[in-house]
Amino acid sequence: MQNMGIRERILKFVDTLPEVVSVKAYGSSIAYQAGYKENEKKQVDLIVVVDDIKKFYEENLKRNKYMYKFTPKMYFKHASSKLLKKAAGICYTTDINYGIDTFKMGVIEKVDVLDDLLNWKTFYIAGRFQKEMYTAIADKEIESANEVNKKNALTIALLLLDKENPSLQDLYEKICSLSYTGDSRKNFKAEDPNKIKKLASGSKDHFDKEYKDKTDLFKVDKFNNIKIDYKKVYDSIDYLPTNLKNKIKEIKVKDKEAKIIEIRKVIIDYLTVIIKGSSLGQTKKGILTTGPKNSFNYAISKLKKGRKKE
């Protein structure tokens, strides 16, 4: 296993799990982020999609007991499906040492993944899937729903860009920033303040392929600045998740400049409410799914990282 690449090692780890629908990996172990040293040991973050979250944990507790400390073991053994699916619908297990890697594994049902990708119910999965990920195991329905999710993210990012001559980099940073709108971790400085810039610059090739090369909503000039076709962007509002689309459609302002300001406010308010709710819910649930000690250590490491890089 020592000589395997990270992607091969992920597949090796996934082989030890009960049946899954889809698996995606993300984070600095997969996608390059400017500012990280190449030899720096990185946690491997996984999202494991299953059909039945309760059934998955019942089987994995028997198959892979080493993954769970006392508190998570009791929680996963006795919690109902409804409890497991609270907040953003995903349950994390951290500090899973397998071979030379340390995994953080989030488990979520396919129905909740599709709901978030298409309807932005919590934006927890939708926001993550808008960025660069490695698909270890693919599911056609999820991949198709994510194409819709990414198109909607582009529409929103273009509407939120308020620079006079925005660059391609500005657009990619805006896409990366969407999932941090209202995130409780930012309020406590528990994230690297430069993370958005690192994500955007480190994943430029991915963003070019997934956003620039698949759209006619903007054009790029020789200086890498973008010219937005606002008529097409406004038309794209019709394809946004229904609740957000309806809120934007309720705006009756006629003046163009005043209207775009109002649209931006509606978008920010909408994302702030749903993301704040899901991120706080996940933080609370994390104490049970990872254990008090692991949750505390993880929070402290995030705080140190966030304040160190200010």
Confidence tier at 244 by pLDDT (50, 70, 90):
very high
Classify residue 1: in a domain, yes or no.
Answer: no
In a domain, 45, yes or no: yes
241, part of any domain? yes
d(CA 155, CA 223): 22
Please count the structural domains in the chain.
1
The reported pLDDT for the residue numbered 88 is 95
pLDDT at residue 300 in the model: 39
Domain of residue 185, residue span: 6-308
Average pLDDT, rounded, for the chain: 89
Predicted pLDDT at 42: 78
Residue of higher predicted confidence among 121 and 35: 121
pLDDT given for residue 32 in this prediction: 58
Measured between alpha carbons, how far is 221 from 216 in angstroms, rounded to an integer?
14
Given a cut of 50, whether residue 11 has pLDDT beyond it is yes
Which residue has better confidence, 293 or 268?
Answer: 268
For residues 13-38, give the mean pLDDT: 82
Query: Could you tell me which of 158, 163, 192 has the C-alpha nearest to residue 178?
Result: 158
Does residue 28 lie in a domain region?
Answer: yes
pLDDT band (50, 70, 90) for residue 270: very high
Residue with tokens 């490695």: 134
Position 302 in a domain: yes
The DSSP annotation for 50-65 comes to: ES-HHHHHHHHHHH-G
Q: Does a structural domain hold residue 301?
A: yes
CA distance 62 to 247: 47
Q: What radius of gyration, in Å, describes the C-alpha atoms of the chain?
A: 20
Domain assignment present for residue 202? The answer is: yes
A 10 A CB-CB count for 147 gives 12
Measured distance CA(291)–CA(68) in Å, rounded: 9
Give the pLDDT of residue 289: 93
